[in-house]
Structure 1
Amino acid sequence: MMTERKQLNKTLKPHWVWAIAFGSAIGWGAFVLPVDWMSLAGPLGVILGFIIGAVLMIIIGVSYGFLVEKLPVSGGEFAYAYYGLGRYHAFLCGWFLTLGYMSIVALNASALALLGKFVLPSIIEQGYMYSIAEWEVYTGEVILACLALIVFAFLNIRGASLSGFSQFIFCIALIGGVIVLVISMVLHPSSSFSNLQPLFKPEIGALSSILAIVAIAPWAYIGFDNIPQAAEEFDFPPKKSFKIIVIALICASITYSLTIIASGVGQSWTSAVEAGSAWGTGAIIENTYGAVGVILLSFALMMGVFTGLNGFYMSTSRLLFAMGRAKVLPSAFGRLHPKHNTPHIGILFTLVITLLAPFFGREALLWVVDMSALGVTIAYFYACFVAYRLFKWSDRTSLHNSTKKSIVSPGRKLCSLLGILCAAGFFLLLVIPGSPGFLDKPSWIALFVWVGIGAIFFLIRFKSYRAIPKAEMDYLILGEYNEKEANSNVASMEEHIK
């Protein structure tokens, strides 16, 4: 007898899905890290690096847009890896992606604590506990971060409609805050575009400066791939997803560029780097506009934190739900809330795990996040590789796996091939010693620990996982429509291409 397959409600509107992608991609980084990024690459190096990164992400997004249309189910890359390469690749992809999503939930909460330390140090820096990696951990910041995690877990449990609508409101407020901030900084009498000089980091030159930022593009733009995680809940045709991906990525790259300009014109970026402030952007805005400027920046930052927390709670819980429904994880993850029909077990599990993060301090958490960029890159690779196999150059080319329906589309096959190369390039920038994005030693240690945990978990569940019949696994991951509706989708897309 086939296991019952739980399904999520179709309640997410297109502009809510755009907000999930855009808000998750921006998060806290655009408001906390501009000075840190300029120290790596200089202002123009950062802007060009993010623009190039957005273009590369759009190329990768071609594969995502196709796969969302073909497989509109929760799980995203986990489901795609299963469809194209089988259950073991699906586990590997899902395992790395879970860590990436969870660590960003935790890091957004820690950004809120960082904001509290800067704006209300007398309150947040209460109850000194200990130091980790030269970061002083206080009871006040731990409580603030934990409260944020709890509030957004509750918001997500209450339903996708509430979290989707809230995400859209947060994004509109974020955009408004950025526009006011940039205009204010550019028009201030003490501001000058000459403060952006030198445009690139002098020690490494223009090309290396740009590559240093391109290397972190998978992390900076992670969020657009929250769209496939929510695909099962679209209340609109999945074919719109690629357009939403492109718009979200363009909006994100513009937002990153604007926050660099806002930070750079207010003070010479080299002097800001030398000052060594824990929040360089905050210090620049405070020196320019005092408390009013800090309030405006803090508002925009809070909106970025809220969109990051909300968006990645949603994507993490949907990924865990899909893996639980497929019996990769314990079946409890595949259950839905009896009233709100949300994957509440995945949300609560994410809450419990991320509640530990504030106790480790922000610097230690950054090691995990840096490492998770590698996992996200692996997920990008899987999506592009599976899409590449499903496209054909012409009618005379055949798919290696004849059981999968393929589509003649040389343009999109080329884009998926370029996506594979982009993902491979991101991977190499992170793992080759001496490259601009090479991971630090603590990040490698965190990576090996996570791989070890995954290996142990896989070996424990290997027998039961392998024993699930393929027909049942297809049903649990891909849904009933896979045999009927997917074939009709392929036929309609072929007709559209012709």
Structure 2
Amino acid sequence: MSDRIDKSLTRKKLDKTLKPHWVWAIALGSSIGWASFVMPATWMGEAGPLGVILGLTLGALLMIVISISYGVLIRNYPVSGGEFAYAFLGLSRLHAYISGWFLTLGYICIVALNATAFSLMLKFIFPNFIEQVKVYEIAGWEVYLTEILLATILIGIFTVLNIRGTTISGRMQFIFVAILIVGVLTITIGMTSSAETSFSNLTPLFTPEISALAAILTIVAIAPFAYVGFDNVPQAAEEFKFSSKKALTLIVLAILFAAAIYSLMILATGVAAPWQEISQANHAWGTGFVVQEVLGTGGLIVLATALTMGIFTGLNGFLISSSRVLFAMSRGKVLPKAFSNLHSRYNTPYFALIFAAVIAIIAPWFGREVLGWVVDMSSVGVSIAFFYTTYTAYKLLKWSEQDEGYNPELHIVSPGKKVVTLLGMIASVSFLVLLLYPESPAALGMESIVALLVWIAIGAIFYMIRRKELAKYTREELAYLILGKDQFKLKKEEE
């Protein structure tokens, strides 16, 4: 260890238990979640069937461009924390904090959103059971005690399983994803081959109200939300029981599978009836309604099973990720020590898991409409995290050994990848523009903007509280704690 690092510092480590197919399942299951089964009718109403498919496909390609940067960084820095660690590596502790702050909220909200999606599905199938003991109405959404209790129980179960280790959660994730894929294929084949459906129902291919380009861009803008989950891979990188060189392949495969599943569910929904009728009917669950109409109760059971698996994989994957970000931020002295406490038997960040679960359990009390505003806002945070990652990878890569400041112990010569990371930076900024520019077809609503400003304010206050503690440690010491490096070669940050 460097003489510039306090030798009394101890760096807590997580066990290496995750197998490659488990990590692929974490990325894929987290990327698709409930949205691929619940949102097709809504998305078609905004862009038309082909607009959605092209938008999500283009979004997937942009995610793959961004994932190249993740592959470079995971390979060289396989540590928990992902974008939090990368922002520190490429910039400073302040930027690391910003990245981690946004990611934590986004991940925890998606845990809550998946849990409430389970109640939504049951509300469609068993409305009399779910709509019990109305608590109040908030932002036009009726909150029932039954659905809150269901979400709480579901989150509690997955929290306990994750505390018991990633061997259990990783194996479960793969089984859930396998069942999900079989369910999607079964529904798609059943819907497209039925005598009651027709491909002519997919016309017009784009929504007539806006141009084809605007329709596609509307969907491209939600790509950070639609595919968020592939970035769960770097959060778990420290726990890989295999070479980190495989990470990029696993991420790309997960994104491609996710794009295919999204497209198949759009197709399966759109062939049932003229898509304008489906999107305008305002069904509680458009896809569930048309599948039941065409394939009957058996088809609905298959769809509900696939949706349940999507919910479980999203809930499980983002519990893992949110806890690892909290753990890494605590290990890096940004958060209090408790968040990096490890279970005496299972060596898992149990306090971080419990904290994430508690926050996720609180969220359903605000109603799904309010929760939706926060999740929309979190797309900005995810895009910021994408930018930090692509920027750091761009900084790490060099055109040639003759570049100014080239250090063979730190930098990698790869002109091709450097171009791709530059494109990733542009894509990340483009997502931010689409979300924040008022005239954009995918601009955030005022409620989401307010939620974003509130979260920024809270984060600024918390950082000021923690700044004095964080300032006690040198950059080299923080590099050791965050990245596990005895020597840190980048220039000392200026703050």
- Same fold, TM-score > 0.5, yes or no: yes
Aligned to 1:212: 218
- The answer on whether the counterparts of 2:476 and 2:488 sit within 8 Å (CA) in structure 1 is no
CA distance in 2 between partners of 1:59 and 1:199 (Å): 27
- The answer on whether the counterparts of 2:479 and 2:488 sit within 8 Å (CA) in structure 1 is no
Pair 1:22 & 2:31 matched: no
- The answer on whether the counterparts of 1:333 and 1:343 sit within 8 Å (CA) in structure 2 is yes
- Alpha-carbon offset, residue 399 of structure 1: 4.1
Aligned to 1:89: 95
CA distance in 2 between partners of 1:482 and 1:212 (Å): 45
CA distance in 2 between partners of 1:261 and 1:60 (Å): 27
Aligned to 1:144: 150
Aligned to 1:372: 378
SS at match of 2:271: helix
Q: Could you give the per-residue CA deviations for residues 106-158 of structure 1, whole angstroms, max 9, x where no partner exists?
A: 10011001011101111111111111121111111111111111111111111
- Alpha-carbon offset, residue 482 of structure 1: 5.7
Q: Structure 1 38/399 Cα, relative in aligned 2: closer, same or farther at 3 Å?
A: farther
Gaps in structure 2 of 5+ consecutive residues: 1-6, 491-495
Residue 414 of structure 1: which of 419, 429, 439 is its match? 419
- The answer on whether the counterparts of 2:60 and 2:259 sit within 8 Å (CA) in structure 1 is yes
Aligned to 1:447: 452
- The answer on whether the counterparts of 1:390 and 1:399 sit within 8 Å (CA) in structure 2 is no
Residue 74 of structure 1: which of 77, 80, 85 is its match? 80
Q: Within 5 Å, which residues of 2 pair with 1:174-185?
A: 174-185=180-191
Aligned to 2:114: 108
Identical counterparts, % of pairs:
54
CA distance in 2 between partners of 1:295 and 1:245 (Å): 30
Pair 1:233 & 2:233 matched: no
SS at match of 1:136: strand
Q: Within 5 Å, which residues of 2 pair with 1:413-432?
A: 413-432=418-437
CA distance in 2 between partners of 1:321 and 1:355 (Å): 20
Amino acid at match of 2:212: A
Pair 1:467 & 2:472 matched: yes
- Alpha-carbon offset, residue 207 of structure 1: 0.5
Gaps in structure 1 of 5+ consecutive residues: 487-498
Amino acid at match of 1:450: W
CA distance in 1 between partners of 2:85 and 2:488 (Å): 15
Amino acid at match of 2:105: L
Aligned to 2:352: 346
SS at match of 1:299: helix
SS at match of 2:137: strand
Q: Could you give the per-residue CA deviations for residues 267-312 of structure 1, whole angstroms, max 9, x where no partner exists?
A: 1110012211121111111221232222111101000000000000
SS at match of 1:129: strand
- Alpha-carbon offset, residue 404 of structure 1: 7.0
CA distance in 2 between partners of 1:110 and 1:404 (Å): 48
- The answer on whether the counterparts of 1:429 and 1:438 sit within 8 Å (CA) in structure 2 is yes
Amino acid at match of 2:205: L
CA distance in 1 between partners of 2:140 and 2:291 (Å): 25
- The answer on whether the counterparts of 1:389 and 1:399 sit within 8 Å (CA) in structure 2 is no
Residue 282 of structure 2: which of 272, 276, 283 is its match? 276
Out of 111-120 and 286-295, give the one that drifted further: 286-295
Amino acid at match of 1:405: L
SS at match of 1:47: helix
CA distance in 2 between partners of 1:373 and 1:398 (Å): 36
CA distance in 2 between partners of 1:133 and 1:270 (Å): 26
Q: Structure 1 225/482 Cα, relative in aligned 2: closer, same or farther at 3 Å?
A: farther
Q: Within 5 Å, which residues of 2 pair with 1:125-204?
A: 125-204=131-210
Amino acid at match of 1:448: L
Amino acid at match of 2:30: S
Q: Could you give the per-residue CA deviations for residues 394-422 of structure 1, whole angstroms, max 9, x where no partner exists?
A: 2322248x697211111000000000000
- The answer on whether the counterparts of 2:434 and 2:440 sit within 8 Å (CA) in structure 1 is yes
CA distance in 2 between partners of 1:117 and 1:270 (Å): 24
Q: Within 5 Å, which residues of 2 pair with 1:234-383?
A: 234-383=240-389
- The answer on whether the counterparts of 2:115 and 2:311 sit within 8 Å (CA) in structure 1 is yes
Aligned to 2:4: none
Aligned to 1:489: none
- The answer on whether the counterparts of 1:399 and 1:406 sit within 8 Å (CA) in structure 2 is no
